Every structure is written in C-alpha cells, then in structure tokens.
Amino acid sequence: MKKLQIINTSLEASLIGYGCMEIGGNWTNQPATVEAQKSALSIIETSLDEGINFFDHADIYCRGKSETVFSQIWARRPALRQKIILQSKCGIRFSNDPVQGYPARYDFSYEYIVESVEGILNRLQTDYLDLLLLHRPDPLVEPDEVAKAFENLHQSGKVRYFGVSNHTAAQIELLKKSLDQPLVVNQLEFNLLHLHLIDEGVIANQDNPTWPVRGNGTLEYCRLHDIAVQAWSPLAKGRASGNVPNQDLRSSNTALVVDRIAREKKVSQEAIVIAWILRHPAQIQPIIGTTNLNRIKAACEADLIELTREEWYELFSAGRGAKVP
C-alpha cells in the first residue's frame, strides 16, 4: 500500500489506517473473551498483510479491551513495534466512573491526560505512542493544563506527536496558544453520507439551504496549517456500499451509484467509497473499522484506483442527495 508522510513528523503512514474500536469484542467491564482475542489477531494480521501500518485506538474502546487484545500481536511479531504507527486517544470519561452517579463527561485536565496515557501504554504493552489525540472537545479545557501534560509526556518519551479529534478550527487555535508541540492530526467523521466538511463550501452564500452544515471551515483550516485529517467512519457503517437493508432514499441512491462505478472498475463497493475520500487533495486518511476480514481487504482495493473528477462529483451529488448548486 502507498504511504503518506504526516506533515511535521517523521511518520510514514499507510494511505488507509485501521481503527481498533470494536476488536475488544464488547463494551462491558468483563475481560475479553478467548473468541475476541482470536478475532483481534486475525483482524490485525489481515490489516498488516494488506499493507496497513497505522493502527488507531482510544482508551475507551471496548472499555480498554481493544488495546489489551491488540498487544497480543507482539508475541507473534516481536519486531513489529518499530514498523507500525500506534495512535490512541483520551479525554472521554464514562458515566459512573469512578463514582456511581457521576455523569458522562470530557476531561482534559493535566492529571487525567497523564493518567490515561499510563493506562494506554500498559494495555498496549509498549513504551511509547507515536500519536496521542484529544478525543472530543472539553468545554472546560484549560489550554495551559493540556500544554503541561503534553510537555510531560513528550519529555518522558511516552508520546512522540500530538493531535486532536472532532475539533473545530477555533478549538484548535485555542489549544495552540499554549502548546509547544504542534498539533499534527485532526480526526473527523467524514464519508459519502456525512459531508459537512466539504458541503459547507459548496452551499456558502446560498439562500435557504435545505440541510444544516457544520464544517466551520475546519477542513480548510487544517490544510492551511499542515494538520493531517483522518476520516473516522469512512465506510458510513456499510450504508454507502449497500450493506445495510431498508435504508433511507439518499443512502440507497448513493449505494446504487457506488455499485455501478465499482462494477465498471471491477473493484468492490468498499473500494469506491474509500477511493472517493482518497481523491480529495487534502490527502485525508480513512480509518476503517470493520471487523469483517473480507471488507478490510475490499476497502484496501482503493489503493489501486483513482476516481475521475466526474466520478467524484457524481458520488458527491448522490451522497448529498442533490446536484451541486
């Protein structure tokens, strides 16, 4: 698989990354089952065989089990750690944690960020993360506290580079005013059926747009400031490739266009959905999260094709449910 250089880092990542959210098996507080452990190894091995070297985690995924089961791979491939890129995220706290009655919340306090990374490293059985992202914006964020945590983690060698997830341009600017380390990544939801990041530019200055758009100039901001964009849920949970029955009309019509172009190019529907993201000049990195081995392989076929401008716009129009203005 082709590689992309993450700007302001020494990291060369596969065009497509793998998101480990579901490999822990379930979201209970119970340990991972033997079945989940075996499944996780198969998923990781398949991803590696397809040329993926970038693996995305978060401390909350399957309540930590996704990181724990991932660490099994070191026994099979002892030299692998130096050949892959490990990313994890922190900042989301579950309800009733650690006290019954506490609400679900976000926490970018110095203590929680540092504590979270210690837990991540322990579960992943590694000495360092290549990338740490702040998972979702914390309205109570104190940028100086984040800066203190990042400096601690960087100086101790526990985190090489830093970024954010689900942050707007303004939220990134607020953090940057206190940070010494650059923010090199922003992970955002983006797919053929979730188009806010680019649709806002198309309908700007239009009368009465028929749907809300919430891009806030974030994609353009990231391009201007050399912040790599990662797309979470790039396969739209199977809706864009027709893998979900009884869909709404917009999703069904999009899946029909995807299917036709896939047949014309003799590739999978998943490959077309991912290739549509890869065609964007921002070099957006899709982070696929399917646990189906065949769908992992299918999505990776996107590395072999490039959509024309006309094909890209046909898919864009189908995904937005209307032609461009």
What pLDDT sits at residue 178? 98
Nearest partner of 55 among 78, 86, 30, judged by Cα? 86
Residue with tokens 């290739």: 275
> Band of the pLDDT at 243, cuts 50, 70, 90?
confident
pLDDT for the residue numbered 308: 98
61 is annotated as an active-site residue: yes
What does the CA dihedral 189, 191, 194, 197 come to, rounded to 10 degrees? 70
Catalytically annotated residue among 18, 61, 161, 221: 61
Residue 245 binned pLDDT confidence (cut-offs 50, 70, 90): confident
pLDDT tens track for 262-321 = 999 999 999 999 999 999 999 999 999 999 999 999 999 999 999 999 999 999 999 999
Domains of the chain (ranges; CATH) run 3-237+270-305 (3.20.20.100)
Which residues face 4 on adjacent strands?
Answer: 13
pTM of the model: 0.96
Q: Return the pLDDT at 214.
A: 74
Q: Of 115-119, 121-125, 195-199, which range is least confident? A: 195-199
pLDDT over threshold 90, residue 7: yes
Phi, psi of 20 (to 5 degrees): -95, 20
pLDDT in the model for residue 114: 98
How far apart are the two ends of the chain, measured CA to CA in Å?
A: 36
| pLDDT score recorded for residue 203 | 85
Which amino acid is residue 31, in one-letter code? P
pLDDT over 70 for what percent of the chain? 99
Side chain identity, residue 143: P
How far apart CA 185 and CA 75 sit, in angstroms, is 30
Q: Are 169 and 221 in contact (CB under 8 A)?
A: yes
What is the per-residue pLDDT for 210?
Answer: 65
| CA 137 – CA 108 distance, rounded (Å) | 8
Q: What average pLDDT is seen over the chain?
A: 96
What pLDDT score does 244 carry?
Answer: 87
Tens digits of per-residue pLDDT, 51-105?
999 999 999 999 999 999 999 999 999 999 999 999 999 999 999 999 999 999 9
In this structure, what are the phi and psi dihedrals at residue 66, rounded to the nearest 5 degrees? -65, -40
Q: Which residues pair with 287 in a beta bridge?
A: 17, 232
Taking the C-alpha atoms of residue 302 and residue 275, their distance in angstroms, rounded to an integer, is: 5
CB atoms within 10 A of CB 323: 10
Give the relative orientation of helices 293-300 and 269-278 as an angle to the nearest 10 degrees. 50
